[in-house]
Amino acid sequence: MTDPAAGKTTRPPVSSSNNRRGDGHDQAAAMDSMYRFTRHIYDLTRRYYLLGRDRLLERVVTGPETATLEVGCGTARNLIKLAGRPVCGRLYGLDASHEMLETASRSVTRAGLPRGGNPPIVLRQGLAEQLDAGRMFGRDELFDTIFFSYCLSMVPTWPGALEAAVNNLKPGGRMLIVDFWDQAELPAVFAAGLKKWLSLFHVHYRPELHAAIAALGDAGNAEVQFESIHHRYAYLATVTKLATDPLP
């Protein structure tokens, strides 16, 4: 298979579907319906409450040959920031929503990417839990970094998404996750209001997801670190896959 981001094909950065009806179609349809209109004001509005995204990007190590994937890339805001680095390596985005990817594709073009010899950002439609570096992106190798930015809190099948990300990460590679935390250090009335508001958007803080990320470290095959973003408004998890046996 070819690697479009490596420049072996001339395929433009458009999305392509690998969803099968009846197999994750509901989540893709739900995301399309949620973002059909809001995608046009998404970047403007979300900058005020999707905190910690830039801190996550600071943790992404890029080099000439690195491959970085954002799962649930939305409008490609994060990937476009990475593409602005002098050396960004190969950048990939996966999202369930065709609607979001349309905006992402436009934003990539508007940003004038690729420039300075950087390869294009490759965008694909598909589900996090079905991530497959070869089938979806034509890659022969796994990824150096896979990150989720405010994505897993809206994925009902998050255990599959977590497992697929770990399986598609090179030994020594890094998985980064920024997402809503429990707001335990913020005023209770703020925390309760935020939870209610987020649930309108199918977004839920899941303590069991937090525990599952921590458990990746307990098995001894990964190192896991959590940082608090703004008094536990959100967390940033760094999971480094150790160069030993694959994670369970």
Residues lying near ligand SAM in the complex (CB under 6 A): 27, 31, 46, 50, 53, 71-74, 77-78, 94-97, 100, 127-128, 149-151, 154-155
Residue 1: C-alpha distances to residues 8, 61, 67, 136, 141 (Å): 10, 26, 16, 10, 11
Q: In the complex, what is the shortest distance from the CB of residue 35 to ligand SAM, in angstroms, rounded to a whole number?
A: 6
Query: What is the β-pairing status of strands 90-95 and 169-180?
Result: unpaired
Length of the chain: 248
By C-alpha distance, which of 45, 51, 55, 96 is closest to 74?
96
Q: In the complex, what is the shortest distance from the CB of residue 81 to ligand SAM, in angstroms, rounded to a whole number?
A: 10
Please identify which residue in the block is written with the tokens 């796994």.
142
d(CA 207, CA 228): 15
Residue 45: C-alpha distances to residues 40, 89, 112, 179, 233 (Å): 10, 29, 23, 17, 17
Q: In the complex, what is the shortest distance from the CB of residue 16 to ligand SAM, in angstroms, rounded to a whole number?
A: 14
CB closer to ligand SAM out of 38 and 244: 38
CB closer to ligand SAM out of 80 and 217: 80
CB closer to ligand SAM out of 49 and 190: 49
One-letter amino acid at 158 equals: W
Separation of CA 92 from chain center:
10
d(CA 147, CA 165): 9
CB closer to ligand SAM out of 8 and 20: 20
CB closer to ligand SAM out of 169 and 217: 169
Q: In the complex, what is the shortest distance from the CB of residue 168 to ligand SAM, in angstroms, rounded to a whole number?
A: 13
CB closer to ligand SAM out of 6 and 198: 198
Q: In the complex, what is the shortest distance from the CB of residue 24 to ligand SAM, in angstroms, rounded to a whole number?
A: 7
Q: In the complex, what is the shortest distance from the CB of residue 41 to ligand SAM, in angstroms, rounded to a whole number?
A: 13
